[in-house]
A = this chain, B = another copy of it.
Amino acid sequence: MAIKVPIQLPQQPSRDYDITIGSLPKIVIDGKAAIVTNPKVSGLHLKRLLEAISAKELHIVTIPDGENYKTMETIEWMLDRFFDHRLDRKSTLIAFGGGVIGDMTGFAASIFQRGIDFIQVPTTLLSQVDASVGGKTGINNRFGKNLVGAFHQPRAVYIDTHWLKTLPEREFAAGVAEIIKMAVMFDAPFFEWLESHDLHDDENLKEAIARSVTLKARVVNEDEKEKGVRAVLNYGHTFAHVIENFSGYGTLLHGEAVAIGMVMANALAIEYGLFDEEEAERVRRLLERYNLPTEYRIEDADTFYEQFFLDKKSHDNQITFIVPEKIGKWHMLVDPERERVVKVLKRWQKKGEDRDQ
């Protein structure tokens, strides 16, 4: 069974597209095309993708795997290959890999001859639920992550759970964390459904992906250029960024840091009397069902707090935390008092110390 989620772009109606969730269909491309992928995905899955695509000319551009190569240097190398292959304004790029491949292929597509079409074939659960909606593309530089890029919408997204068979369980769970995040923020019935359905079942997984991308599409539509409600997608992320800074990227997966971050955000919401302990416990239990981490040792709560202000998203020394009011309903906690945030953070400091004794 294939599910189609239509993505409408009110600000650019001519760029509306579909996300198709199900076994990869035949993809027919009018002009020339280039698949951008990495050696790992290519080794495991390229043959199956090639069987699905028909194009006038099809090239394969392989870039190294990993966040470290998400640079302008790699983008320039990719563009050179496209010119070598004589791609033109009518050509199409196909992003075949996880979030890094999607971000870079989308960015390259946005600037090659002032913008050409691209198609996403995401191969990790995280990129399937997260990166396939929103049009964000970009690269890192020495000042931070995703600081250079463009908003460029794909022409189509094909989500096939087949690729996930070779995905390590930890990476699978990291994708589930983003699905749980969407349910907690926007959709109580979906959260209840998640409590009673195992996402290791393929039909359940497809339904969860469809519901998750539908929710994200609704948010992004209301706020294509990220000025308001799109910030709600940062639930758990404000904490996660600091956790990732302290742990070093690569120790925890992003989705794992987000899982911890959600638990912290929930605790902050409880501190402010906004959220209920019992509901917080349900969120924690659901995360733990997928072996996502919910514990973390904070070295020093004050230092941790300071780190919030080094993040590019905080202007004017104000900080907004996205927290749940109840499951399925978000709340923006604008500029809470430092001492109360630190008080909440200290529980992780203490917890860590307790555990060590």
Residues of A within 8 A of B (CB): 11-12, 14, 72, 76, 79-80, 83, 88, 90, 107, 110-115, 136-138, 141, 143, 146-151, 225, 312, 315
Contact = CB atoms under 8 A, between A and B. Distances in A.
Nearest to A14: B11
Given A72-B72, A76-B72, A141-B79, A114 B11 contact: no
Nearest to A83: B143
A114 B151 contact: yes
A136 B150 contact: no
Given A12-B11, A12-B12, A88-B312, A111 B150 contact: yes
Contacts of A146: 114
Contacts of A315: 88, 90
A151 B151 CA distance: 11
A333 to B, nearest CB: 21
A138 B79 CA distance: 14
A83 B115 contact: no
B148 A111 contact: yes
A115 B151 contact: yes
Contacts of A88: 312, 315
Contacts of A107: 111
Contact of A79 (B14, B136, B148): B148
Contacts of A147: 83, 112-113
A25 B315 CA distance: 29
Contacts of A312: 88, 113
